[in-house]
Amino acid sequence: MLHQNVFMGSVGERLSDRARGVLLGLAVGDALGAPLEFMTEREIRRRYGGPVVDLVGGGWLSLVPGEGTDDTGMTFALARSLATSVGYETTRAMAAYLDWFRSNPKDVGSTVGAALVGLSAGRPAAEVTEEYHRATGRSAGNGSLMRVAPIALRHLHEAQRRAGAARSDSKLTHFDDHAAGACELLCDVLASLVCGVEVSEIAAPESLAHEWAPAREVAASEAAGGRAGYVGTALMVASMLSAV
């Protein structure tokens, strides 16, 4: 019994470390890359002499070194809303996002911003997001994917609950089902990685197969092109990074 308890404690600590690593990696990666947003590879090399490996700050948002963007802000808002015995609840997540939105963040994505303005006025999420979708013809940006990681960690061993929460959370701001599907897949991937599953063992559903584990050149080309904000492009990049 003693050996079993020691083993279980060791496993729990390892999972906790990996879970913290997911959130820490997200925050650091955001702070590292945010000053380079909208810059081409050539522009980055010209300005910094090569790949950026330090927290330089600046960029179009005039960030201080180490400061993150809406990616980190919404992620931690969601994480705080999950700190209950119940886990994910749509109303708690929505309230957390609205609190963040009202804090006057430096940047809010257009799709997320339109949704939160409507939610602030008390309108139903489904109505607001469909209206935006019909007005713009698109609602599959990466705004719901960028924040979804805490759901994977909170419902690590509850696959069905995790999938439903990921999709529900995406639908708060993004009408397109493709965004919801990407969030569900990424949560499954993160849960698998935290539990020690190899990336090569993770299969995407058919609807997302072309955006998960593509050739590195394809992912790089999509990210450098006009589809950088598309959820599928973000999923491609996440696939490449998870395999490193």
In the numeric block, the tokens 């940006």 are attached to: 141
Contact 19, 68 (CB under 8 A): no
pLDDT of 80 strictly over 80: yes
CA atoms of 238 and 104, how far apart (whole Å)? 28
Fold classification of 86-242 (topology level): ADP-ribosylglycohydrolase fold (1.10.4080)
What is the amino acid identity at position 150?
Answer: P
CB atoms closer than 10 angstroms to residue 220: 15
CB under 8 Å to 164, separation ≥6 — which residues? none
pLDDT digit string (tens) for 60-70?
999 999 999 99
Confidence of residue 244 (pLDDT cuts 50, 70, 90): low
Mean residue pLDDT across the chain: 90
Sign of CA dihedral 123, 94, 188, 67: positive
Q: Is 94 helix (H, G, I), strand (E, B) or coil?
A: helix
pLDDT digit string (tens) for 36-57?
998 888 999 999 999 999 999 9
> Quick one: pLDDT at residue 50?
92
Bigger pLDDT: 106 or 4? 106
CB under 8 Å to 244, separation ≥6 — which residues? none
Smallest Cα–Cα separation from 119: which of 154, 143, 95? 95
Contact 159, 196 (CB under 8 A): no
pLDDT of 100 strictly over 60: yes
C-alpha pair distances (Å), 158 with each of 7, 166, 175, 195: 22, 12, 25, 12
CA atoms of 201 and 28, how far apart (whole Å)? 27
pTM: 0.90
In the numeric block, the tokens 């599959």 are attached to: 140
Smallest Cα–Cα separation from 209: which of 230, 187, 181, 190? 181
Contact 149, 190 (CB under 8 A): yes
Q: Which two tokens stand for residue 202?
A: 């993770």
Helix ranges (DSSP H) in 102-215: 110-120, 125-136, 149-154, 159-171, 177-194
> Quick one: pLDDT at residue 11?
55
Q: Where are the domains of the chain?
A: 1-68, 86-242
3-class SS string, 109-126: CHHHHHHHHHHHCCCCHH
Contact 202, 239 (CB under 8 A): no
pLDDT digit string (tens) for 15-38?
899 999 999 999 999 999 999 998
